[in-house]
Amino acid sequence: MRIVLLGPPGAGKGTLAGLIKDSLDIEHISTGDIFRDEMKHHTALGAEMKKYVERGELVPDEVVTKIVENKLKNPIFEKGYMLDGFPRTSKQAKDLDEILNRMSTPIDFALYMEADLELIVQRLTGRRVCRKCGAVYHVQNRPAKVEGVCDVCGGELYQRADDNEETIRKRMEVYYQSTTPIVEYYRSQNKLRQVDGNKDSAELCKDVLKMLDEKQRHKN
Ligand code: AP5
C-alpha cells in the first residue's frame, strides 16, 4: 500500500505513521526527518536546507522531489510506504504522480488529517524528539518515563528549532497557501480519505487501520 499523509504541521502525521507502519508492514518516509538528518550530520545539503527549515519555509520543489525520487528507487519500498510531508505543493504532487506512473506504482490513498489550530500550537510547542532514534514525545500528551530521556534508546530529548510560536505561525501560513490545494488534487482523483486529527492517537490509529482495511478489501 502506498499512502500520502496530508495535514497541517502538528496534525500528528509522524505520530500516526509510527503507530501504524508495523501493522501495515510498510515504510515511513518523512522529508522533514531526511532534512533534519542531513542538518545533524552537517552535510552540504543540510547546510542548504537549514535556512529554509528553521524559518518555516519550504525547501525548493526540485531539491525535495529529486531526493524522494532517488529514495523510492530503493527496493525496500517495494512493499509500500507512507509519505509524510511530501508532496507539499501542487508541483510536487504532479511530479510525484509522474514519477510513480513511470514506475507503475501509483499512490493508493491520501490520508488527510485535520486538527484545530489551538491544539496544533499546544502539540508543537510541547513536542520533544529523541536526538538518537527520532522517537516523538509530548511533555503532556505523551511524556517520556524519565524527563528528557528517550524510553526507546535512552537518547537525549530535544525541542525542534522550528517548534517555537513564531515559526509555527509561518509554517501554518505556508501550509494554507501551498499545501491545502493538494487536498483537492487528491479528492479529484478519488483518493482522498479524511480523518479527525483532533482525536487521541490510539483512537485515531484504530479508525485509520479499520478504514484502510475496508478500502483495501473493496479494491481487491
Ligand atoms: P516536517 O518535519 O514535515 O514538519 P511538519 O509538516 O510541520 O509536520 P510536523 O512534523 O511538525 O507534524 P506532524 O503532523 O508529523 O506531528 P507529530 O506527529 O510530530 O517539515 C519540517 C520542515 O522541512 C518544513 O517546514 C520545510 O521547511 C521542510 N520540508 C519538509 N518537507 C518538505 C517538502 N515536501 N517540500 C518543501 N519543504 C519541506 O505530532 C506533533 C506533537 O503532537 C507530538 O509531540 C506528538 O506527541 C503530539 N501528538 C500527535 N498526535 C497526537 C494526538 N492524536 N493526540 C495528542 N497528541 C498528539
Model confidence at 213: pLDDT above 90 = no
**Catalytic site includes residue 128:** no
Catalytic residue, chosen from 160, 187, 191, 215, is 160
**Catalytic site includes residue 13:** yes
- Burial environment of residue 35 by CB neighbours within 10 A (0 to 12, 13 to 18, 19 or more): buried
Copy the grid coordinates of residue 173. 501560513
**Catalytic site includes residue 217:** no
**Cβ(138)–Cβ(127) under 8 Å?**
yes
User: Where does the pLDDT of residue 219 fall: very low under 50, low under 70, confident under 90, or very high at 90 and above?
Assistant: low
CA-nearest residue, atom 17 of ligand 1: 12
Copy the grid coordinates of residue 59. 525547501
User: pLDDT digits over 48-64, tens only?
Assistant: 999 999 999 999 999 99
192 vs 163: CA distance, rounded Å: 28
Largest CA distance in the chain: 48
Strand-pairing partners, residue 136, are 129
Mean pLDDT throughout 85-111? 97
Copy the grid coordinates of residue 220. 481487491
pLDDT of residue 161: 92
135 vs 128: CA distance, rounded Å: 9
Backbone angles phi, psi at 128, to 5 degrees: -130, 140
User: pLDDT digits over 1-60, tens only?
Assistant: 999 999 999 999 999 999 999 999 999 999 999 999 999 999 999 999 999 999 999 999
208 vs 175: CA distance, rounded Å: 23
Q: What element of type H or E holds 150?
A: none
**Catalytic site includes residue 21:** no
Q: Ligand 1 centre and the CA of 206: distance in Å?
A: 20
User: pLDDT digits over 106-144, tens only?
Assistant: 999 999 999 999 999 999 999 999 999 989 999 999 999
What are the pocket residues of ligand 1 if the criterion is a CB atom closer than 6 Å to any ligand atom?
A: 7, 9-15, 30-32, 35, 52-53, 56-59, 64, 85-86, 88, 92, 123-124, 126-127, 136-138, 141-142, 162, 171, 199-201, 204
Q: Other C-beta atoms within 10 Å of 82: how many?
A: 24
149 vs 143: CA distance, rounded Å: 10
Distances from the Cα of 31 to the Cαs of 67, 100, 206, in angstroms? 9, 17, 25
pLDDT of residue 150: 98
- Closest by alpha carbon to 143, among 126, 156, 155, 160? 126
16 vs 69: CA distance, rounded Å: 23
Model confidence at 218: pLDDT above 80 = no
Catalytic residue, chosen from 88, 123, 128, 193, is 88
Catalytic residue, chosen from 123, 127, 128, 193, is 127
Q: Ligand 1 centre and the CA of 190: distance in Å?
A: 25
CA-nearest residue, atom 8 of ligand 1: 9
pTM: 0.94
**Catalytic site includes residue 131:** no
Strand-pairing partners, residue 195, are 113
pLDDT of residue 220: 54
